[in-house]
């Protein structure tokens, strides 16, 4: 469960900017939520709050049972293990092959070797990249790299996946496949929060949409997607 | 074990990835440890030589022919620096001389008078105060001349002092430079692995997990420097040792035992170098990771 209560974020740099104003959001376990908004709307600030890269100026943030406003520094790594992150620039390690990139997250979090041997092929199969396991990121297309990043985010079976504009750097035609893949993962019970500025995707898939504008939540409701009509 | 070997591998990989900085760090660390190590060995040898000199720290006190031998003997014994006193009469002295110079025995036997004065052989209990003792003995009424192994002891002491100062200055100056270079090597490693570190943080790696490869890198360079320093020290020290003891028997002529052979202390030197290298390497890493990997 993700909950933001009366959250304000004010940056002192640059003469003082109100990045988020009195934001109240509650996302239940197993939901799929799109967060939309123009540049400067506060999307990135919201994600940084959810991953505990920043703390709110006021208000409280709860994610997966952790109170991020009060969490101790040494507990942050353990909190982050409960979420999976997907970035728009993929952030794959270039000198590790596909298998090793996915295994990396499990290794970092001290998972046993046996679990790594079972889990990595499973998630690579899920993102349909089993045949690319030994390839290096430089040899993959943008869509394939993002699918590796999704596999990596899902490898540790987190309760929440946060995707920061995962379709921004890939062919528009492949964007739908990426969101479909995230929807598949969501069906396994994982909460997915996806930040995007691609309205066509949101309109196609529908579901719960949270829209931000100049730091305020201006829309938070469910819409029907055209995909449902197909 | 899986993670441990992974972290070790990452640390050693980093050494290769930043090979130019690693090599610079390795060279400076090796030179500083080498100079420090050689200074330390010279100091140890000076101590050995000084203790040998101390074992033979007899001062010869020659008396006037008309001196009151017993009174002079009492005065010598009353000095707090006197460890032992041995009297050699002119007859015994001449006999010793004839034994020492056997070939000239006839010459000594035909002398019209005995040239050897009454002599006291005085052993001092502190070699460092031998000049003070010489002054005391010279001032005693009836003493004609005093011979002491003072100059040689002073020479060795001067060497020891010089190398102590050199050793301390070198370890302070070059040690600092080494730590700075290793800190910069680590900084470059942190920069080279910044994406990996960002991913590690995002997926929940602990600070210990992120920092360990950098420690391994610093300590690896330190250990490598230690082994290299040991090897160069061995070459230099054994060369000097051979020079001193092969042809020219100067030390034996001075009645001094051999300085310590490298084989005897080889493992201790290696252990000390490796420990010092690893410590300096780790220190550089601590500074760098503390500064660039906060939080």
Q: What is the pLDDT of residues A14-42, one digit of tens each?
A: 667 788 999 999 999 999 999 999 888 89
Which element (helix H / strand E) includes A115? Answer: helix A113-126
Scan for tokens 């528009």, then name that residue. A172
Q: What is the pLDDT of residues A35-83, one digit of tens each?
A: 999 888 899 899 999 999 999 999 999 999 999 988 998 899 999 999 9
On whether any CB of chain A is under 8 Å from the CB of B205, the answer is: yes
Yes or no, beta carbons of B199 and A78 under 8 Å apart: no
Residues in chain A with CB shorter than 8 Å from the CB of B3 are 107, 110
Q: What is the pLDDT of residues A153-199, one digit of tens each?
A: 999 999 999 999 998 888 888 889 899 999 999 998 999 999 998 88
A114-128, A208-222, B20-34, B222-236: least confidently modelled range: B20-34
Best of B13, B17, B203 to substitute, by most chain A Cβ atoms within 10 angstroms, is B203
Q: pLDDT at position B54, please?
A: 60
A142-146, B162-166, B220-224: least confidently modelled range: B162-166
Best of A74, A106, A108 to substitute, by most chain B Cβ atoms within 10 angstroms, is A108
On whether any CB of chain B is under 8 Å from the CB of A108, the answer is: yes
On whether any CB of chain A is under 8 Å from the CB of B2, the answer is: yes
On whether any CB of chain B is under 8 Å from the CB of A107, the answer is: yes
Yes or no, beta carbons of A91 and B205 under 8 Å apart: no
On whether any CB of chain B is under 8 Å from the CB of A100, the answer is: no
Residue B97 pLDDT > 60: yes
Residues in chain A with CB shorter than 8 Å from the CB of B203 are 80-81, 84-85, 104-105, 108-109, 152, 156
Q: pLDDT at position B83, please?
A: 86
Nearest by CB to residue B3, choosing from A77, A93, A107, is: A107
Sorted by sequence, the CB contacts under 8 Å of residue A153 that are 6+ apart come out as A84, A85, A86, A105, A161, A163
Residues in chain B with CB shorter than 8 Å from the CB of A68 are none
A11 within 8 A of A19, measured Cβ to Cβ: yes
Q: pLDDT at position B268, please?
A: 92
Q: pLDDT at position A194, please?
A: 95
On whether any CB of chain B is under 8 Å from the CB of A117, the answer is: no
Q: pLDDT at position B183, please?
A: 82
B210 within 8 A of B6, measured Cβ to Cβ: no
Residue B249 pLDDT > 70: no
Round the average pLDDT of chain A to a whole number and report it: 90
Domains, chain A: 31-54+72-229 (3.40.50.300)
Yes or no, beta carbons of B202 and A81 under 8 Å apart: no
User: Above pLDDT 70, what percent of chain A?
Assistant: 98
More confident residue, B147 or A102: A102
pTM score, two decimals? 0.67
Range B57-148 has CATH code 3.40.50.620: no
Q: pLDDT at position B293, please?
A: 67
Q: Which two tokens stand for residue B116?
A: 């050897």
Q: Is A86 helix (H, G, I), strand (E, B) or coil?
A: strand
pLDDT confidence bin for A228, thresholds 50/70/90: low
Q: pLDDT at position B274, please?
A: 93
On whether any CB of chain A is under 8 Å from the CB of B176, the answer is: no
Residues in chain A with CB shorter than 8 Å from the CB of B206 are 74, 77
User: Above pLDDT 90, what percent of chain B?
Assistant: 11
Mean pLDDT to the nearest integer, B94-104: 79
Shortest distance between the Cα of B264 and any Cα of chain A, in A, equals 45
Yes or no, beta carbons of A93 and B202 under 8 Å apart: no
Nearest by CB to residue A109, choosing from B195, B198, B203, is: B203
pLDDT confidence bin for B1, thresholds 50/70/90: very low
Domain segments of chain B: what residues? 2-53+153-292, 57-148
Range from A205-219, B2-16, B115-129, B239-253 that averages highest in pLDDT: A205-219
């Amino acid at each position: 469960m993700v909950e933001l209560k009366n959250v304000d974020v004010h940056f002192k740099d640059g003469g003082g900017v109100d990045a988020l104003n009195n934001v109240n959001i509650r996302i239940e376990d197993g939901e799929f939520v799109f967060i939309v908004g123009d540049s400067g709307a506060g999307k990135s600030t919201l994600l940084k709050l959810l991953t505990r890269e920043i703390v709110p100026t006021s208000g409280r943030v709860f994610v997966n049972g952790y109170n991020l406003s009060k969490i101790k520094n040494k507990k942050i790594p353990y909190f982050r293990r409960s979420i999976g992150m997907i970035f728009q620039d993929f952030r794959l390690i270039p000198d590790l092959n596909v298998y090793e990139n996915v295994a990396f997250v499990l290794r970092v979090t001290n998972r046993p070797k046996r679990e790594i041997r079972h889990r990595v092929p499973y998630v690579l199969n899920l993102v349909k990249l089993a045949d690319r396991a030994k390839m290096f990121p430089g040899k993959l297309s943008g869509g394939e790299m993002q699918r590796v990043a999704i596999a990596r985010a899902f490898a540790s079976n987190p309760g929440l996946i946060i995707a920061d504009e995962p379709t921004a750097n890939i062919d528009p035609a492949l964007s739908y496949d990426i969101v479909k893949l995230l929807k598949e993962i969501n069906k396994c019970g994982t909460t997915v929060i996806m930040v995007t500025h691609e309205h066509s995707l949101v309109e196609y898939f529908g579901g719960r949409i949270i829209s931000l504008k100049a730091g305020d939540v201006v829309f938070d409701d469910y819409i029907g997607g055209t995909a449902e009509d197909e | 074990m899986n993670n441990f070997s992974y972290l070790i591998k990452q640390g050693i990989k980093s050494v290769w990835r930043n090979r130019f900085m690693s090599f610079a760090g390795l060279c400076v660390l090796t030179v500083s440890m080498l100079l420090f190590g050689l200074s330390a060995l010279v100091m140890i040898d000076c101590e050995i030589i000084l203790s040998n000199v101390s074992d033979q720290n007899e001062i010869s006190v020659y008396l006037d022919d008309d001196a009151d031998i017993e009174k002079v003997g009492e005065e010598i014994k009353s000095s707090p620096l006197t460890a032992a006193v041995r009297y050699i009469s002119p007859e015994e002295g001449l006999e010793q001389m004839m034994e020492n110079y056997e070939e000239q025995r006839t010459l000594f036997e035909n002398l019209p008078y005995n040239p050897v004065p009454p002599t006291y052989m005085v052993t001092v209990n502190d070699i460092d105060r031998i000049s003070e003792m010489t002054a005391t003995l010279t001032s005693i009424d009836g003493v004609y001349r005093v011979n002491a192994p003072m100059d040689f002891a002073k020479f060795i002491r001067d060497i020891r002092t010089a190398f102590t100062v050199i050793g301390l200055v070198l370890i302070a100056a070059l040690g600092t430079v080494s730590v700075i270079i290793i800190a910069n090597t680590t900084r470059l490693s942190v920069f080279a692995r910044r994406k990996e570190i960002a991913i590690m943080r995002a997926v929940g790696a602990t600070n210990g997990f992120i920092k360990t490869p950098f420690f391994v890198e610093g300590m690896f360079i330190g250990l490598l420097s230690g082994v290299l320093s040991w090897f160069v020290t061995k070459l230099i020290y054994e060369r000097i040792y051979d020079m001193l003891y092969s042809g020219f028997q100067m030390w034996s002529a001075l009645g001094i035992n051999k300085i310590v052979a490298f084989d005897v202390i080889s493992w201790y030197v290696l252990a000390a170098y490796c420990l010092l290298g690893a410590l300096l390497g780790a220190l550089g890493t601590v500074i760098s990771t503390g500064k660039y990997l906060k939080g």
